[in-house]
């Protein structure tokens, strides 16, 4: 039994409340009203990304969220198609993909909640799926490497698939010490890329995608290439309110790694517009802007804020805000019970459950308000 606010829930009860997390896409489509127009969103997102791509000789596109079958987006944006991101990449044309996975996630056997697979197994599955979609992956980067034992086994699996695997070491004080970052970037292996568009993705949050992009940008500038960087984001949605249920649902989805939505201070200063971003991106922007200035001789990518740095047109696809709000609230409740179940099984920290309590309070969401 697990204590939850004012009562107890058995694991059986929690699993019943969690069952919607694993429903097939068609079932979700049949049981929910439509609040999101995927075609409308795709048109706006493709246009914005194409404009960004046209500005550079080469563009590194950090792909936030899940590239294949983003069930979170399907649940909180009813009408969002699970193949949306793949469809967009196909429409963007000739590209290559660098896949990142954290050595620490491999070592601790981190499980992805939507599929129940460990991150290393999820990576193999996604690489196979991308090949089936005609998007072969030649390079994988294992990030934050510190001699983890299970990494060598995973690396061997990749090499048998014909994939070149790189090990990137931990950069001390990565998010706070620019000098440490600049000192260690030259030590990271350069991945040779030939296409104008390079997508950097991974099995989930904390995979080290930003670090790999910084390393590549450093090496590219040193090689005389006019390179750009941008982020593909779906959540949080910058032009919704800070405590909109869709944005709170992003906090719930990342409660285990501690992401916190914040008002982007750079965007407010530059444009006097409130924009929602999250803490890691705001910290990374300070580092990124400083590094680019140093390695490019002042030829800095012209972003005034981390919100500028990303491309997120998701709000254009919302056609019924009330439907999306309710779907997001249900997602937050389900995430809460999932974390509780994992806590009861000893695979999740109590801090994650505490963060979920705070998210419920911010959203004014009652845990008994579960969709039947």
Q: Over the stretch 236-275, which tens digit does the pLDDT of each residue have?
A: 999 999 999 999 999 999 999 899 999 999 999 999 999 9
Helices (H), 77-118: 84-92, 103-107
The pLDDT tens digits for 87-96 are 999 899 889 9
- The reported pLDDT for the residue numbered 131 is 86
- The reported pLDDT for the residue numbered 182 is 86
Q: Which residues of the chain have pLDDT under 50?
A: 1-11, 20-30, 372
- The reported pLDDT for the residue numbered 115 is 79
* List of E strands, 202-351: 227-232, 261-263, 276-278, 310-311
Q: Domain 35-242+258-320 - what CATH class? A: alpha beta
> What residue spans define the domains of the chain?
35-242+258-320
φ and ψ of 174, to 5 deg:
-55, -40
- The reported pLDDT for the residue numbered 287 is 76
Report which of 99, 155, 156, 93 is spatially closest to residue 128, judged by C-alpha positions. 99
φ and ψ of 149, to 5 deg:
-65, -40
- The reported pLDDT for the residue numbered 222 is 87
For the purposes of burial, counting CB atoms within 10 Å of the CB of 94, is it exposed (0-12), middle (13-18) or buried (19 or more)? exposed
For the purposes of burial, counting CB atoms within 10 Å of the CB of 31, is it exposed (0-12), middle (13-18) or buried (19 or more)? exposed
Q: What is the pTM (predicted TM-score) of this model?
A: 0.84
| Both structure tokens of 286 | 């300070």
């Amino acid at each position: 039994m697990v204590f939850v606010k004012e009562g107890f829930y058995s694991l059986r009860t929690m699993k019943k409340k969690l069952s919607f997390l694993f429903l097939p896409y068609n079932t979700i489509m049949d049981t929910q009203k439509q609040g999101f127009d995927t075609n409308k969103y795709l048109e706006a997102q493709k246009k914005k990304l194409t404009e960004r791509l046209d500005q550079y000789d080469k563009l590194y596109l950090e792909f936030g969220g899940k590239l294949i079958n983003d069930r979170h987006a399907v649940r909180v944006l009813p009408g969002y198609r699970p193949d949306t991101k793949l469809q967009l990449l196909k429409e963007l044309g000739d590209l290559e993909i660098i896949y990142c996975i954290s050595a620490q996630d491999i070592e601790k056997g981190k499980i992805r909640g939507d599929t129940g697979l460990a991150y290393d197994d999820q990576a193999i599955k996604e690489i196979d799926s991308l090949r089936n979609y005609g998007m072969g992956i030649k390079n994988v980067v294992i990030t934050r490497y510190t001699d983890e034992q299970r990494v060598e086994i995973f690396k061997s699996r990749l090499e048998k698939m014909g994939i070149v695997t790189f090990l990137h070491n931990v950069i001390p004080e990565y998010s706070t010490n620019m000098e440490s970052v600049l000192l260690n970037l030259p030590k990271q292996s350069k991945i040779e890329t030939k296409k104008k568009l390079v997508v950097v993705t991974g099995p989930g949050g904390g995979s080290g995608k930003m670090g790999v992009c910084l390393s590549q940008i450093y090496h590219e500038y040193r090689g005389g290439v006019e390179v750009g960087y941008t982020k593909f984001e779906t959540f949080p949605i910058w032009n919704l309110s800070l405590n909109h249920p869709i944005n709170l649902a992003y906090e719930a989805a990342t409660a285990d790694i501690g992401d916190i939505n914040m008002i982007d201070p750079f965007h407010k200063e530059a444009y006097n517009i409130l924009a929602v971003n999250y803490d890691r991106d705001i910290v990374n922007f300070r580092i990124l802007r400083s590094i680019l200035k140093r390695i490019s001789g002042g030829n800095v990518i012209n972003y005034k804020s981390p919100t500028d740095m990303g491309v997120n047109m998701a709000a254009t696809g919302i056609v019924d805000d009330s439907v999306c709000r309710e779907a997001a609230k249900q997602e937050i409740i389900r995430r809460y019970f999932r974390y509780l179940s994992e806590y009861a099984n000893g695979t999740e920290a109590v801090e994650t459950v505490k963060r979920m309590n705070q998210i419920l309070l911010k959203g004014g969401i009652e845990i008994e308000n579960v969709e039947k």
